[in-house]
């Protein structure tokens, strides 16, 4: 009943959200296109060509079906979240939505376990492996160490690790990685175009998590590509789930003159964005289009100051790797998602009024990163300067 309810909820939400297309709040949306901008909504306020950056899961489904991809009888995919739930409106939900979109496309069974504590990672993986599913998705960098031994011990199950890297992968384990430096870079270009004070800020998550470092350093690099003299304030946090600290960080930065705040740290970063926007300061979200999550489809205060979000298409990565299991192309390796293949992009401004020249510069930057004419100057694996 739980899964059927989620799919019914997904269908309802899809009707509301499918008007359009990037390492934790409250409602599961299992639409087959979870970045609700793929159909061309640029927010009617100078959003550049955000729709051009989006890859629709509905289109990917049709492409796979046209190629003859099918799910065999009794095919099963399961998922283990990082700490949090499948309706937390960040990474866990995005991965869940990619799995559910594939299930809706090909007609197979899914199940999931929501992790309450880091101490439960290995046990939750072990429980999910009971009965021998065809695939298991583990969500997040912090599950890396628990996933590798499980993959090695269960060669008949394909493992999809989101934000997970190893020097060598067994043949049944793929690590979905993102060029977050590109997402941060685009956010920085946008921030540099919006600032009037010449001071911008970024509220980051844990510094020991490479995707966070890539976002933070990419943000500074992008901003300085527009204005070498811009001042970029940044802070890392010990938790992705500390809204009070994120809000305090943003308030301190605003006190130092920052008029654009980028949130790059789960709920901690999102709280920084909310602190900014509710005080009339530009905010830039991360991972998903935060207009639909943090800002409740524009119903929340401050949505008119949410300039964009640096989007990581976790759903697209998960969907593509499930297709790879089904069509036999799955192989143990890193699977990179970038601006070039649509895995890194940005959200439209929706209610925000972005100057046309700033929006055009943002889209020009995305295209340049995609075709290689623009580089971030950072190591895509670590986020450190090359």
* pLDDT on residue 19: 29
> pLDDT tens-digit profile of 220-256?
999 999 999 999 999 999 998 899 999 999 999 999 9
Question: DSSP letter at 118?
Answer: G
Residue 146 domain-assigned?
no
Global confidence as pTM: 0.81
* pLDDT on residue 55: 80
Q: What angle do CA 93, 118, 268 make, to 5 degrees?
A: 55
Element (H, E) at 191: helix 180-194
Residue 144 domain-assigned?
no
Tokens of 277: 């926007």
Angle between the N-to-C axes of helices 210-226 and 180-194, in degrees from 0 to 180, rounded to the nearest 10: 40
Residue 194 domain-assigned?
yes
What is the separation of C-alpha 236 from the centre of its chain, rounded to a whole number of angstroms?
19
CATH assignment at residue 233: 3.40.50.2300
**How many domains, in total, are found in the chain?**
1
Tokens of 293: 């999550």
Tokens of 66: 């046209």
Residue 33 domain-assigned?
no
Domain span holding position 297: 180-313+345-371
Residue 382 domain-assigned?
no
Given the structure tokens 């609700």, which residue do they identify? 36
Residue 271 domain-assigned?
yes
Gyration radius from the chain CA atoms = 19
Determine the Cα–Cα distance for residues 218 and 216; give it in Å rounded to an integer: 5
The whole-number mean pLDDT for each consecutive block of 10 residues of the chain, a chain of 386 residues, reads 34 30 34 34 42 77 97 97 86 94 98 96 98 97 96 98 95 97 98 98 95 97 98 96 96 98 95 98 95 94 98 96 98 96 95 97 97 96 92
List strand residue ranges (DSSP E) for 25-122, in order. Answer: 76-83, 109-115
CB count, 10 Å around CB of 174?
25
Tokens of 18: 């499918």
- DSSP state letters, 352-369: S---HHHHHHHHHHHHHH
Provide CB contacts within 8 A for 373, sequence distance 6+.
none
Residue 101 domain-assigned?
no
* pLDDT on residue 53: 52
Residue 267 domain-assigned?
yes
* pLDDT on residue 268: 95
* pLDDT on residue 275: 98
Determine the Cα–Cα distance for residues 289 and 348; give it in Å rounded to an integer: 8
Determine the Cα–Cα distance for residues 14 and 55; give it in Å rounded to an integer: 16
Element (H, E) at 285: strand 282-287
> pLDDT tens-digit profile of 141-164?
999 999 999 999 999 999 999 999
* pLDDT on residue 134: 98
Provide CB contacts within 8 A for 353, sequence distance 6+.
45, 46, 304
Determine the Cα–Cα distance for residues 315 and 10; give it in Å rounded to an integer: 14
């Amino acid at each position: 009943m739980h899964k059927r309810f989620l799919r019914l909820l997904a269908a309802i939400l899809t009707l509301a959200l499918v008007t359009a297309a990037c390492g934790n709040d409250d409602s599961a949306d299992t639409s087959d296109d979870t970045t609700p901008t793929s159909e061309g909504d640029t927010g009617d306020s100078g959003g550049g060509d955000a729709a051009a950056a989006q890859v629709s899961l509905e289109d990917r489904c049709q492409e796979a079906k046209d190629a003859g991809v099918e799910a065999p009888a009794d095919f099963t995919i399961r998922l283990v979240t990082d700490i949090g739930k499948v309706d937390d409106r960040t990474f866990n939900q995005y991965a869940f939505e990619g799995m559910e979109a594939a299930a809706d496309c090909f007609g197979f069974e899914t199940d999931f376990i929501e992790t309450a504590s880091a101490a439960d990672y290995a046990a939750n993986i072990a429980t999910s492996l009971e009965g021998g599913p065809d695939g298991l998705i583990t969500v997040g960098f912090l599950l890396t160490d628990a996933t590798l031994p499980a993959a090695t011990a269960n060669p008949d199950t394909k493992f999809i690790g989101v934000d997970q890297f190893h020097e060598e992968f067994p043949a049944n384990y793929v690590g979905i990685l993102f060029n977050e430096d590109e997402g941060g870079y685009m956010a920085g270009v946008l921030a540099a175009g919006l600032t009037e004070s010449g001071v911008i800020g970024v509220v980051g998550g844990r510094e020991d998590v490479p995707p966070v470092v890539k976002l933070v350093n990419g943000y500074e690099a992008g901003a300085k590509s527009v204005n070498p003299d811009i001042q970029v304030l940044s802070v890392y946090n010990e938790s992705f789930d500390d809204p009070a600290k994120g809000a305090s960080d943003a308030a301190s930065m605003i006190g130092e003159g920052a008029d654009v705040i980028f949130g790059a740290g789960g709920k901690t970063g999102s709280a920084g964005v909310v602190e900014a926007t509710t005080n009339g300061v530009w905010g830039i979200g991360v991972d998903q289009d935060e207009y639909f999550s943090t800002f409740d489809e524009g119903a929340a205060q401050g949505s008119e100051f949410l300039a964009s979000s640096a989007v990581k298409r976790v759903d697209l990565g998960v969907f593509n790797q499930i297709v790879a299991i089904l069509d036999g192309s799955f192989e143990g390796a890193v699977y990179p998602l970038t601006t070039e293949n649509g895995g890194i992009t940005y959200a439209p401004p929706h209610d925000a009024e972005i100057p046309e020249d700033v929006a055009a510069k943002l889209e020009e930057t995305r295209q340049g990163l995609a075709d290689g004419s623009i580089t971030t100057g950072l190591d895509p694996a670590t986020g450190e300067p090359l």
